[in-house]
Amino acid sequence: MSGSIKRQLQGVVTGDKMHKTVVVRVQSVKKHPKYLKQYTVRNSFKAHDEKNEYHIGDAVVIEETRPLSRDKRWRVVKKIS
Q: Do 61 and 80 touch, CB atoms closer than 8 A? A: yes
Residue-level pLDDT at 13: 98
Residue ranges making up the domain that contains 72: 8-80
Residue-level pLDDT at 81: 79
Residue-level pLDDT at 80: 96
Tell me the C-alpha distance between 37 and 45, whole Å. Answer: 26
Residue-level pLDDT at 4: 80
For residue 73, tell me if it sits in a domain.
yes
CATH number, domain of 22, equals 2.40.50.140
Residue-level pLDDT at 23: 98
- Number of structural domains, the chain? 1
For residue 3, tell me if it sits in a domain.
no
For residue 35, tell me if it sits in a domain.
yes
Residue-level pLDDT at 2: 64
pLDDT beneath 50: ranges in the chain:
none
For residue 2, tell me if it sits in a domain.
no
Handedness of CA 4, 59, 45, 75 (dihedral sign): positive
